[in-house]
Amino acid sequence: MKRILLALVAIGWSASGTTAFGQVDDVDPTIGGVGMLLQPTRPTVHLPNSMVRMYPVRADQLDDQIRFFPLTLISHRLGELFSLMPGPAGGPAAWDQEVTTPYYYSTRFDESFIQTEFTPTERCGFFRFTFPEGQASIRLANLFPGNLSAEGSSVITGEERFHDMKAYVYGEFDVPMEFNATGGEKKVVTARAAAERVAFRYGISFISVDQAKRNLEREIPGWEFEKVKKAARARWNQVLGQIQVKGGTEAQRRVFYTSLYRTYERMINITEDGRYYSAFDHQVHADERPFYVDNWIWDTFRALEPLHTLLNPEMEADQIQSYVRMYQQSGWMPSFAVLWGDYPCMNGNHAAGWIADAWYKGVRNFDLETAYEGLRKNSLEATLLPWRNGPKCALDDFYHEKGYFPSLPPDVEETEPLVHPFENRQSVAVTLGTAYDDWCIAQLARTLNKEGDYRLFMGRAKFYTNVWNPEKGFMWPKDADGNWIEPFDPKFGGGQGGRAYFDENNAYTYNWDVLQDFEGLFELMGGREAAEAKLDQLFREGLDRSKYDFWYKFPDSTGLVGQFVMGNEPSFSTPYLYNRTGSPWKTQKRLRTLLNAWFTDTLHGIPGDEDGGGMTAWVVFTMMGFYPVTPGLPVYDLGSPIFDQVTIHLPGGKALEIVARNNSVDNKYIQDVKLNGESIDRVWFRHDEIVNGATLVLQMGNTPGAVGADPVRVLPELTDGE
Domains in the chain (CATH in brackets) are: 2-240 (2.70.98.10), 243-270+607-722 (3.30.2080.10), 275-366 (1.20.1050.60), 388-571 (1.20.1610.10)
Looking at the predicted structure, is the pLDDT value of residue 6 above 80?
A: no
- In 3D, which of 23, 47, 15 has the Cα closest to residue 231? 47
Confidence label for 715 from pLDDT (cuts 50, 70 and 90): confident
Q: What is the DSSP track for 371-435?
A: HHHHHHHHHHHB---TT--SB--HHHHHHHHHSS-----TTS----TTS-TTT---HHHHHHHHH
Predicted local confidence at residue 722, as pLDDT: 38
Helices then strands (H, E): number in the chain? Answer: 19, 35
Pairing of strands 165-173, 155-162: antiparallel
Looking at the predicted structure, is the pLDDT value of residue 2 above 60?
A: no
CA–CA separation, 577 and 596 (whole Å): 19
**Could you tell me what percentage of the chain is helix, strand and coil, using 3-state DSSP and rounding each to the nearest 5?**
30, 25, 45
Strand partners, 695: 657
Helix (H) / strand (E) containing 504: none
pLDDT one-digit tens code per residue, 292-340: 999 999 999 999 999 999 999 999 999 999 999 999 999 999 999 999 9
Confidence label for 497 from pLDDT (cuts 50, 70 and 90): confident
- Which residues touch 496 (CB under 8 Å, ≥6 apart)? 422, 553
pLDDT one-digit tens code per residue, 126-150: 999 999 999 999 999 999 999 999 9
CA–CA separation, 22 and 39 (whole Å): 29
Predicted local confidence at residue 16, as pLDDT: 40
Q: What is the DSSP track for 657-721?
A: EEEEET--SS--EEEEEEETTEE---SEEEGGGTTT-EEEEEEEESS---TT-SGGGSPPP-TT-
Predicted local confidence at residue 15, as pLDDT: 40
pLDDT one-digit tens code per residue, 427-468: 999 999 999 999 999 999 999 999 999 999 999 999 999 999
Q: What is the mean pLDDT of residues 500-528?
A: 97
Looking at the predicted structure, is the pLDDT value of residue 18 above 50?
A: no
Predicted local confidence at residue 457, as pLDDT: 98
Residue 638 dihedral angles phi and psi, to the nearest 5°? -80, 145
- In 3D, which of 384, 387, 394, 396 has the Cα closest to residue 420? 387
Length of the chain measured in residues = 722
CA–CA separation, 498 and 514 (whole Å): 18
Looking at the predicted structure, is the pLDDT value of residue 515 above 70?
A: yes
Q: How many CB atoms lie within 10 A of CB 273?
A: 13
Predicted local confidence at residue 14, as pLDDT: 38
Q: What is the mean pLDDT of residues 202-224?
A: 98
- In 3D, which of 125, 127, 132 has the Cα closest to residue 111? 132
Q: What is the mean pLDDT of residues 209-229?
A: 98
CA–CA separation, 231 and 407 (whole Å): 55
Predicted local confidence at residue 627, as pLDDT: 98
Q: What is the mean pLDDT of residues 713-719?
A: 67
DSSP-derived letter for residue 506 is -
pLDDT one-digit tens code per residue, 90-132: 889 999 999 999 999 999 999 999 999 999 999 999 999 999 9
Per cent of the chain over pLDDT 70 is 96
Predicted local confidence at residue 646, as pLDDT: 98
Q: What is the mean pLDDT of residues 503-530?
A: 97
Predicted local confidence at residue 5, as pLDDT: 32
User: By the 8 A CB rule, do 475 and 510 touch?
Assistant: yes
Predicted local confidence at residue 17, as pLDDT: 43
Give every strand in the sheet of 645-649, ordered side by side. 243-246, 645-649, 655-661, 694-701, 669-675, 678-679
CA–CA separation, 47 and 62 (whole Å): 25
pTM: 0.96
CA–CA separation, 657 and 651 (whole Å): 14
User: By the 8 A CB rule, do 631 and 356 touch?
Assistant: yes
CA–CA separation, 167 and 404 (whole Å): 43
CA–CA separation, 83 and 76 (whole Å): 17
Looking at the predicted structure, is the pLDDT value of residue 13 above 50?
A: no
Average confidence score pLDDT of the chain: 95
CA–CA separation, 34 and 420 (whole Å): 30
The CA R_g of the chain, rounded to the nearest whole Å, is 26
CA–CA separation, 637 and 656 (whole Å): 15
